[in-house]
Amino acid sequence: MLAAMCGRIVQELPMAALTELFGPLEGLAAVEPRYNVAPTQLVAVVRAEGTARTLARLRWGLIPQGARDPAIGAKLINARAETLSERPAYREPFARRRCVVPASGFYEWRTRGQRKTPLYFHRADRRPLALAALWEPWPGGPAPATFTIVTCPPNALLRQIHDRMPALLHPDGLRAWLDPAADPTRLRELLVPYEGELEQRPVGRAVNDVQNDGPDCVREEIEREVQGELF
């Protein structure tokens, strides 16, 4: 079985780039650059609140209302687009509490023999990606809300790496996804393999350790082949 997707992202997001994509944002005045964001951590997320759009830090890993153990959030970091209306944990958030995770890019690991090479995926023009997500209030308390990233089948670029990819929204789909009254049929049409311009590049092993969170994580590392193995 392949590992979860999406499980690691980058948020190096100037506010000017975010407001260009989302329009005016309330809440956070800036997003701290992060290069190795992992599940259970706090992540900058865009939500609709009335007529406004807010930027806030939510915890990655959705904890459903009524959950007996908050640790379940570590298992609910991704939600399959095909079953959002069927899974009890996602049915209500899909209907009423959708959000977007802005990201500079995301990581996935390519396996060749015994070696796993981390790859960084991002837009060719370096503009932010908009990852479809769902959120829930923290059960019974004021702690940060939690969220899960929606995944869909892979596009041509990801197909050789993984059988899933994050559901990436085009700018014209953001309004519908963030609209609490949007038609579910229209929303499902948004959750398809992304056909925009994505690029990938191999990066160093620093990203393998979640304690590493600096620009070295996204620095390109050229693979070289020695006696049939990639190093």
Name the CATH superfamily for 9-209: SOS response associated peptidase-like (3.90.1680.10)
**Integer Cα distance of 202 and 108 in angstroms:** 10
Q: Looking at residues 193-217, what average pLDDT do you find?
A: 94
User: Is residue 226 pLDDT above 80, yes or no?
Assistant: no
150: its two tokens: 């929606």
Radius of gyration of the chain, Cα coordinates, nearest whole angstrom: 17
Q: What is the structure's pLDDT at 211? A: 95
129-165 tens-digit pLDDT: 999 999 999 877 778 999 999 999 999 999 989 999 9
pLDDT interval class at 225 (50, 70, 90): very low
User: Is residue 208 pLDDT above 80, yes or no?
Assistant: yes
Angle between helices 15-22 and 171-178 (to 10 degrees): 70
* Residues tagged active-site: 6, 108
User: Is residue 77 pLDDT above 70, yes or no?
Assistant: yes
User: Is residue 231 pLDDT above 80, yes or no?
Assistant: no
In a 10 Å sphere around its CB, with 0-12 CB exposed, 13-18 middle and 19+ buried, how is residue 149 labelled?
Answer: buried
159-198 tens-digit pLDDT: 989 999 999 999 999 999 999 889 988 999 999 999 888 9
**Integer Cα distance of 39 and 158 in angstroms:** 21
79-123 tens-digit pLDDT: 999 999 999 999 999 999 999 999 999 999 998 887 889 999 999
User: Is residue 49 pLDDT above 50, yes or no?
Assistant: yes
Nearest to 133 by CA among 48, 66, 19: 48
128: its two tokens: 């932010």
